[in-house]
Amino acid sequence: MKKILLQTTIPFNSNDWTVDRFSFVSEYLSSLTDENGTHLYAITSRNREENGRSDDPVLSRLDTSGYDQLWLFGVDVGDGLSEADCRAIQRFRQRGGGVLTSRDHQDLGISFCSLGSIGAAHHFHSKNPEADPSRRRVDDTESPGILWPNYHSGSNGDYQRILAAKPIHPLMQNDDNESGVIEMLPAHPHEGAVSVAAVGERVRVVAKGRSKYTGKEFNLAVAFDSSPKEGMKGRAVADSSFHHFLDYNFDPTKGCPSFVTEKPGYGMLENPQAVEDTKAYLRNLAAWLS
């Protein structure tokens, strides 16, 4: 049984995107079994905590823990990871641990920048912007308080049609669809930016979305294969928005923090394929990162 740590980069706050709002992911992964009925994954969910050195007591020792994967949701705006946390996460991947990093618009999750090649794949407003200057502009114009990157893939609670990059990556496969690939994922009004920015690693874009406002394509997920020659035995994924994993984006009746003012949609509740595609993405992530 693989042990997966689901963690946010912020302490508990009932009015924020803390880990209790990712319960669908935890419950679904915990339910998965093999052909013999044996559970595949043991899930631990936690928010950031700090010891006397401002380090997270779990993340700062992740490489010596019993976890096989880290699913890290970047909800902070600069203080979500200490230097010791980042070093331990990189050592964790060096020894073979799988790492998923997912953030959101503007500078949410900006502490990821200190995660080496994974950090280089995430682009923010005030640090490590996208290389193309034409992309450094507002995409979602309905939320004036949110700056780029903020690609508009749809309303919270709705689904977006996605493009699986070719050749099709294992993360994007879904044999239940006639196409053989995942076609939909949860939408969000302002997704972050990820790209292939690593040098010397086996990394590529695996899925893209399209802005409903500008029609511009943007990357949804970038996958790093293991690169033993570069000292990275573990795989990793850089995902553009933690809203792909939130309870609220599967079912808006689950509620959201008070700072969310955009009107939600209900496409995920009304379209079973969108839910099944997202479940396939979760299954594929857990299996591939293993």
Quick check: 106 and 140 in contact, CB under 8 A?
A: no
pLDDT band at 77 (very low <50, low <70, confident <90, very high): very high
CATH (domain of 102): 3.40.50
**Dihedral pair phi/psi, residue 10, rounded to 5°:** -130, 155
Instruction: Let me know if 101 is exposed, middle or buried by CB neighbors in 10 A (0-12, 13-18, 19+).
Output: buried
Whether the model pTM is above 0.95: yes
Predicted pLDDT of residue 214: 96
Q: Which of 121, 133, 120, 126 is nearest to 108 (CA)?
A: 126
The string of pLDDT tens digits covering residues 211-269 is 999 999 999 999 999 988 778 899 999 999 999 999 999 999 999 999 999 999 999 99
pLDDT > 90 in the chain, percent: 95
pLDDT > 70 in the chain, percent: 99
Predicted pLDDT of residue 135: 96
Overall number of domains in the chain: 1
pLDDT band at 199 (very low <50, low <70, confident <90, very high): low
| Domain range for 117 | 2-289
Rounded to whole angstroms, the Cα distance separating 182 from 161 reads 9
Residue 286 has pLDDT above 90, yes or no: yes
Predicted pLDDT of residue 197: 81
**In this predicted structure, which of 46-55, 135-144, 195-204 has the lowest mean pLDDT?**
195-204
- 198-86-32-287 Cα dihedral, nearest 10 degrees: 30
Angle at 281 between CA 234 and CA 188, to 5 degrees: 110
> Taking residues 19-27, what's their average pLDDT?
98
